[in-house]
């Protein structure tokens, strides 16, 4: 929907982000490069922009649920399938089909349940946790999950 409002091309495009020039097909750089050049303006004909934007980019608010699910998806995709941590996640949810586990598809309640589990955090090797990437990802996901005390369930 955001692509439609901003006049961007839909589908699997080279530059899907409306905030920066993140190159989606450069898989080698996804975990190495931290800063991508910011998108100054949405000019028609430049980097997957096909129409004039209907709203300004400052008016777009990303919902926390999408941020949380996106972070968790990236975190699980970064895990090695043969390591104990990924095997722990697969065994932790026996009710999920094997196809969803292999495709690494998890929903909000499952992610929340997993992050509150102390055994999951212990399942990551200490040496990987100290590197910072995985622990930073867990920290960011847990920040998004925590609700304000006045929020109703």
**pLDDT tens sequence across 74-91:** 777 777 777 777 788 888
Q: What is the 3-state secondary structure (H, E, C) of the chain?
A: CHHHHCCECCCCCCCCCCCECCCCCCHHHCCCCCCCCECCCCCCCCCCECCCCCCCHHHCCCCHHHHHHHHHHHHHHHCCCCCHHHHHHHHHCCCCCHHHHHCCCCCHHHHHHHHCCHHHHHHCCHHHHHHCHHHHHHHHHHHHHCCCCCCCC
pLDDT above 70: residue 113:
yes
pLDDT above 70: residue 48:
no
The answer to whether 105 touches 132, Cβ cutoff 8 Å, is no
**The pLDDT value given to residue 127:** 46
**The pLDDT value given to residue 131:** 52
Region of poorest pLDDT, from 82-96, 97-111, 114-128: 114-128
- Identify the bridge partners of residue 124 per DSSP, sorted by sequence position: none
Distance in angstroms (rounded) separating the CA atoms of residues 137 and 119: 17
Residue spans of the domains in the chain: they are 1-60, 64-145
**The pLDDT value given to residue 132:** 52
Tell me the pLDDT of the chain averaged across its residues. Answer: 68
pTM over 0.75: no
What number of other Cβ atoms are within 10 A of residue 5's Cβ? 16
């Amino acid at each position: 929907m955001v692509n439609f409002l901003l006049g961007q091309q839909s589908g699997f495009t080279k530059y899907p982000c409306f905030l920066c020039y993140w190159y989606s097909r450069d898989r080698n750089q996804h975990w190495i490069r931290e800063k991508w050049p910011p998108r100054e303006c949405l000019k028609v004909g430049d980097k997957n922009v096909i129409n004039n934007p209907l709203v300004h980019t400052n008016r777009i608010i990303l919902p926390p649920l999408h941020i949380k699910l996106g972070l968790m998806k990236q975190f699980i995709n970064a895990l090695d399938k043969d390591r104990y941590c990924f095997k722990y996640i697969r065994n932790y949810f026996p009710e999920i089909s094997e196809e969803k586990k292999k495709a690494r598809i998890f929903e909000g309640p499952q992610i929340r349940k997993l992050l509150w589990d102390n055994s999951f955090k212990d399942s990551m090797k200490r040496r990987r946790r100290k590197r910072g990437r995985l622990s930073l990802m867990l920290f960011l996901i847990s920040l998004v999950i925590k609700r304000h005390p006045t929020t109703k369930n």
